[in-house]
Structure formats: structure tokens, C-alpha cells
Chains A and B, each alone.
Chain A
Amino acid sequence: MTSIAAISAPARPRKLVGAGRRQWIGLLYVAPAVALVVVFFIIPLGMTAWMSLHNWPLMGAHSFIGLDNYWAILRDTRFWNALRFTGYYTVIVTIAIFVVAFPLALFIERPRPLTGFYRTSFFMPAVIGFASASLLWSWLLNVDSGLFSPAAFELGLTEKKVNLLATFQPAFWSIIAMVVWKVAGFTMIILMTGLQSIPPDLQEAAMIDGAGPLARFRAITLPLMRRTLALALILSVAGSVLAFDQFYIILRGGPRNQTLTAVYWIFNQSFVSFKLGYGAALSMVLLVILVALSLIQLRLLRQPEGVD
């Protein structure tokens, strides 16, 4: 290291010559990334806002209609139902994920033989896609060829094979089970990073002072991983608000359109009914909700970690 420092010293004056020009080259390096983001993100974002003010069918001319799409949203009870269902799903699934993921994180955080195996097993469903997981569970949940109803019937738990996807409650809870199975490992790893950042001597000191496991959890673990908890919470909430794949693949929005999520409704309006302008206005509403959530996230994360 010292030799490198020694030779780099006389290089300084040379570096000043043309340094300004060389710095500009940086723009060239970031140009492809900026171009992609502008063409496939910034322009579409502007277009969404612009299109939301239009009557914009797939074919034929579009016409400016001002805020009419937004007035229509106010009267669109099915959109509000979809939004309400999305909110309900988000709350339930987030609670369910944490209830499963937190004990798992505590379990794998402590080093013991086989920890690596446990961690990998819990995490495996997280790397397969939502579409694969949904297809897989649509089979497991099938009434004739699936696993759950026939198994319950064989074991004598039910008198006949019950179609789990035919009514709202069992269908909804089946989706919750599938999502928890798929996502808990992911949340577990996030929570584990928070647990590992707690200095072990703090726990030991509390143990010497006679604090039981529950008291230690409440007084040390929870406050010290507030930031990690906030992150895991926001990731789960943002992901759930945008839920689509599982409801489209397993339930097709049914039974009786009761499981249409916000994204699903926008998809239907834009790409099934081809009301592109109206879909754009709905997208703007969703976008505002998500940006608001992100801003809350930034606030929560900016608070420094540690005891108040």
C-alpha cells in the first residue's frame, strides 16, 4: 500500500491537466441507463398523466375530456370495492407473514447445527416466481385432482370433497396460505439482518441483570430493530397493494368478482375493455397511493436505529 501511495503522489499534477474533460466522460457512462429510464419510465409516467385526461380507445382517435375520468372513478363502486378488498388483503397477509416470519428469523438467527439447511428450506419458495407458485397452488387447491380437498376427504375430515375455491372465505384464506408460504422466507431474511445487527453483549448484559427472554425481546430486540421492521413492513405492504398474479391465476377474480384487486381492475379496464384513458386515471390513483406509502417508508427509515 505504501508503495502505491508513493507513486501516486507525483501523478497529481498530471491528473489536473484535462481533468475537467475527463470528468465529463462520466455522462457517457451513465447515458445508456438514463436513456432507458427516460424512454421506458419517465415518458410513460408523463403519458399516464396525459392519457388520464382523455377518452382513449385502443383504436380510433382520442379526445380530451378534462377530469371526466376522475369524476367517473368517484362513481365507480367496483373500483372502490377492489381497493377495499386490496386493503383488507394487505392487512391480513402482512400480519400473517410477520406471524410466521418473525419466529423463523429468531429460529435461524441462533447458530446451531443444520441452521444453514433450515434457512435454505424456508427461503426456497421465495426464489420461485409468483406465477409458478400460483400455478402450483391452483393444482393443490383443485377439488378433483388437487391435494387439500381429497386429502381432507380421505382422512375423514369432510364428508365430501369441498371445492375450496367456490366461496369467498376458503378461497381467500387459501391465497393467504399460499402467499405466506411463498414470502415468509424473504421477510425472515430481512428480519434476520436486523437481529444480527444487535450487539450480543447487550443481550448478555440484560440476561445477567435477570431479564427473561420475553422482557429481553421487548426491551432490546424490538426497539433495536425498528428500522428493519419498518423496511420489512413496507416491502410487504407495497407488494400486497400491487397483488395481481395469484388472484388472476388461481381465482380469476372470483368467486363472483369478490377477489378483484386494484391492479386487476386496472388490468381489466385497460387491457380487456381497452378503456386506456380510464385505466390511466385509475393508475394515477394507485400511483399516488404507492408514492404516499414510499414517502412514509422514507420517514420511518430515516429515523436512526437505537433506543430513544
Chain B
Amino acid sequence: MAQARSRKRRIGMQIAEHATGIVASLLFLAPIVWTVLSAFKPAQESRQPPLPPWPTTGFSVENYATLNTFGDGLWLPAQNSIYVSVMTVVLSVIVSVLAGYGFSRFRFPLKDLLFVLILSTIMIPFQSILTPIFLVLTKIGLHNTLTGLVCVYVTLQLPFSIFMMRNAFDAVPREIEEAARMDGANNVTMLLRVMLPLVWPGIVTIALFAFLGAWNEFLAALVLMTDQSKFTLPIMMTALQSGRFGAIDWGAVQAGVTVMMVPCLVLFLLLQRFYIRGLMAGAVK
């Protein structure tokens, strides 16, 4: 009797727990789902409050077409964002793999000082050095260029990604390297053929963080990209939402926000364990 009652109570508890979990999940997912669905309403319907969130007068991509008529269209800022994010990923992976390998496997003068120097930049907010960065970029001819923005983004990624890569290389047993060296591998083949396959989870992690960082960054792009043709998606969408291109079209805003969110969500869902790994590595150390 008592056993049956306690079992009933346990099942009741479980139902309550899952009900809480599902309600909380819906609360967190709702704004995202609401936007993605509303973006598919016809323009007329988009001006009304999104009740219900899904299109009621037919499915349409009108909002995306409207979005494409503002300023330089949708494709140019999207292209800029893709270029900046991909280049940030490529360069920060190359630079941090080299540096991680160097810091992990060699002893050279000033090594500890240089490592601390790079890591300590994480304490300084880049927001406070944006003006001089602007002047430095002007000086070296990268003012108002996407390449200049990439350089800034890569530099911002370095403390985290070099820290990650050094740990990844440190975790590779030295015996493997010595065996490869016996087989006549030089430094470069050692890094490419022997080490890279062993540290690739770390590389995926830093690539993911670099992509999300560059894709989502707002303030530096706002300050450094003054020419409309160089706008990245967040800057273009903010210009649109501020009424810079005339009356604010909320349907176009929903479409733009969807374009900005979807790559992040897809990458995260595909590479979730690398993301959590990176977070934990940062949290534990």
C-alpha cells in the first residue's frame, strides 16, 4: 500500500519535473521560433502583431524580397559577413595552431613573457582601444576594409584559441613525436602529419568560437566600417531598424534576424559538444 503510494508520488514528481522542463524550454525557444515563423508572413500581415506567430493568410517570402530592396540589398552585407567570419576562422586557426605548437613544444627566450602577454589581453576590454585601432588601420591602409576588421577579430580570438591549442598540444605524448622524428619527420611534416590529426577537436572548437565571434560582433564593425558597402549583417540590419532607409519594415527585420540567427543555430546544433568542451575548458582553467 505504502509502496504503491510512494511510487505514485514518484511518478507525480516526474510529471511535474518534465512539465517544468517543457514550459521552460518553450520560453527559451519561443522568441526564436516566433521570429522564424513570422518572417514567412506576407508583408501586409507582418505589420500586424504576431498573433498567432505562423502565417494565417498564406506562406510567403515577400519579407525576404523586401529586405533585399533596402540599401545595398541583402546579399552584399551577407557576403561581407560570410567573408569576415570565414577569414577570421581560417586565420585564427592558422595563427593559433602555430602559436600553440610553438608554446607547447619549444623552449625559447621570452617564451613565458610572450604567453602571458597574449593571455592577459583578455583582461583589457577592446571597447576601450577602438579609437587607436581605427587610427592604426588607417595608418597601414586597412581603414574601412573587411580585411582590417578580420585582423581585429583574429586578435580578439587569440587569447582563448592559443590557450586551447597549447593545452591540446600539451596533451599529445612526447613519445609519438620522438618516434616520428626517428622516421625523419621535420618540424613542418611533424606538425601537419603527426600532430594535427591528434589535436583536431581543439581546432574545431576554436574555429566554432571564431566563427560565432566574428559573425555576431557589433561594436567594432559599427565603428570601423563606415562605408555602407562594407556593412556586415548586424550593422546593415541596425541601420534598417533605426529607420535609416525610410519607414521601418518589421517584416524585413524578422527576415534579417532569421538570416543572422540560423547559421549560428545550425552550427551549434551540429557541433554542440565542441562548443560545450570549449566552454568547460575555459571554465575549469
Contact = CB atoms under 8 A, between A and B. Distances in A.
A47 B117 CA distance: 17
A128 B216 CA distance: 7
A74 interface: no
Contacts of A120: 269, 272
Interface string B124-161: 11111111110110001000000000011011001000
Chain A: interface size category: 35 or more
Interface string A43-82: 1110110010000000000000000000000000000000
A37 B118 contact: yes
A233 B181 CA distance: 46
A179 interface: no
B25 A117 contact: yes
5 contacts: A22-B187, A189-B279, A193-B284, A249-B218, A279-B131
A8 B179 contact: yes
A26 B111 contact: yes
Interface in A111-153: 112, 114, 117-118, 120-125, 127-132, 135-140, 142, 144-147, 150-151
Contact of A127 (B107, B111, B264): B264
A298 to B, nearest CB: 9
B234 A145 contact: no
A245 B218 contact: yes
A181 to B, nearest CB: 7
Given A127-B212, A145-B48, A47 B132 contact: yes
Interface string B265-281: 10111001001100110
Task: Say what secondary structure dominates the interface of chain B.
Answer: helix
Nearest to A238: B125
A224 interface: no
B216 A130 contact: yes
A28 B254 contact: no
Interface in A72-117: 104, 107, 112, 114, 117
Given A33-B95, A131-B237, A26 B131 contact: no
B237 A135 contact: yes
A36 B29 contact: no
A80 to B, nearest CB: 17
A280 B131 contact: yes
Given A11-B182, A139-B254, A147-B49, A34 B25 contact: no
B124 A4 contact: no
Interface string A19-31: 0001111111110
B68 interface: no
B163 to A, nearest CB: 11
Interface stretch (B1-9, B31-39, B54-62, B70-78): B31-39
Contacts of A104: 24
Given A114-B21, A128-B32, A36 B125 contact: no
A171 interface: no
A120 B48 CA distance: 31
A186 B254 CA distance: 24
Nearest to B98: A29
- Residue of A129, A144, A151, A270 with most partner-chain B CB within 10 A: A129
B127 A244 contact: yes
B274 to A, nearest CB: 12
Interface string B41-57: 00000111111000000
Given A44-B136, A124-B28, A283-B128, A107 B175 contact: no
B40 interface: no
B99 interface: yes
A25 B35 contact: no
A-B pairs, top 9 by smallest CB distance, nearest first, are: A26-B106, A129-B216, A29-B102, A150-B49, A47-B132, A44-B132, A131-B234, A121-B25, A283-B128
Interface stretch (A162-170, A203-211, A215-223, A284-292): A284-292
Given A40-B152, A122-B25, A284-B128, A4 B175 contact: yes
A249 B237 CA distance: 10
A78 to B, nearest CB: 18
A39 interface: yes
A260 interface: no
B65 interface: no
B108 A33 contact: no
B162 interface: yes
A226 interface: no
Interface in A242-263: 242, 244-245, 248-249, 252, 263
B215 interface: yes
A5 B101 CA distance: 22
Contacts of A122: 24-25, 28
B29 A7 contact: no
B79 interface: no
Contact of A135 (B17, B103, B215, B238): B238
A176 interface: no
